[in-house]
Amino acid sequence: MSITDSVYLLIFGSGLLGGFGHCSGMCGPVVAAYTLGLGLGSGDVKTYAPAQALYHAGRITTYGILGGIMGMTGSFAGVVESIERFQNMTLAVVGMLMIVLGLAATGWFSLLKGRASRKIAPVVSGFVSRVVRFIAATHTRGSLYVMGIATGFIPCGLLYTAYIAAAGTGAKAGRPVEGFLSGMFMLVLFGLGTVPALFLIGHLTARKGAWIRKRMSMVASLFMTAVGAIFIYRAFQG
């Protein structure tokens, strides 16, 4: 196994090309949402660059492990079938968090607290503010890595193609260990290829975060909420 093998270059290229053409549309909103939602939009490169790097490291960890398993077993369909329910659950949880963060940012919950039922509204707004506080409080480097690991499970067609390639390469490998290593290596390269596009989205969101909050806070919040709703729809559709 050598990094100069064309299959490894192709898979890295697939991640790089797909990062700009596919991931920016599909996973870009997640990156933008957590950058805004977790308050990484300070515009300070020293704050957001390590945070982004940790998030991507977590994502690539999941890809690498699943790629290794695909390579070891030589089976794509079997592995995906066994994790499909967990994937959909992750998608639903990420969607719910995005809705909570989005709605909390609109300020509608405090409005609800003041005008609507005195029994229900405080419970709802209290729950939301607790969730937001929890997410903000866990804004540590470790939690971003864990968040990256979780979002690595989000179903993605481009990622599936990389897994299919890993399973195909693994099936040709002589020993399971060889298959695991080649599958893992392929998916790590694929994941690294997707980083530049998503990092750019995170960078732009972080740089413009304050501007977005000031001038388009309602639009950004509703966008985040809508993306969360789409994620939940996809989770239950799958």
Residue 229 found at the interface with other proteins (CB under 8 A)? no
Residue 73 found at the interface with other proteins (CB under 8 A)? no
Region of 20-28, 100-108, 118-126, 202-210 interacting with other proteins (CB under 8 A): 20-28
Token pair, residue 201, equals: 């989205």
CB 18 within 8 A of CB 195: no
Among 1, 9, 45, 77, binds other proteins (CB under 8 A): 77
Q: How far is the CB of 231 from other proteins (least distance, A)?
A: 9
Distance from the Cα of residue 7 to its chain's centroid: 25
Q: How far is the CB of 22 from other proteins (least distance, A)?
A: 5
Q: How far is the CB of 163 from other proteins (least distance, A)?
A: 8
Residue 86 found at the interface with other proteins (CB under 8 A)? no
CB atoms within 10 A of CB 151: 21
Region of 40-48, 77-85, 174-182, 200-208 interacting with other proteins (CB under 8 A): 77-85
Half-sphere exposure of 187 (CA within 13 A, CB side): 34
Q: Which residues contact 14 (CB under 8 A, 6 or more apart)?
A: 158, 161, 162, 190, 193
CA dihedral 95, 96, 97, 103 (to 10 degrees): 110
Among 5, 17, 129, 192, binds other proteins (CB under 8 A): 17
CB atoms within 10 A of CB 6: 8
Residue 160 found at the interface with other proteins (CB under 8 A)? yes
Region of 100-108, 110-118, 153-161, 218-226 interacting with other proteins (CB under 8 A): 153-161
Residue 226 found at the interface with other proteins (CB under 8 A)? no
Residue 10 found at the interface with other proteins (CB under 8 A)? yes
Token pair, residue 13, equals: 């290229």
CB 105 within 8 A of CB 136: no
Residue 22 found at the interface with other proteins (CB under 8 A)? yes
Residue 69 main-chain phi, psi, to 5 deg: -65, -40
The residues binding other proteins (CB under 8 A) are: 10-11, 14, 17-18, 21-22, 26, 76-77, 80-81, 155-158, 160-162, 164-165, 234, 237-238
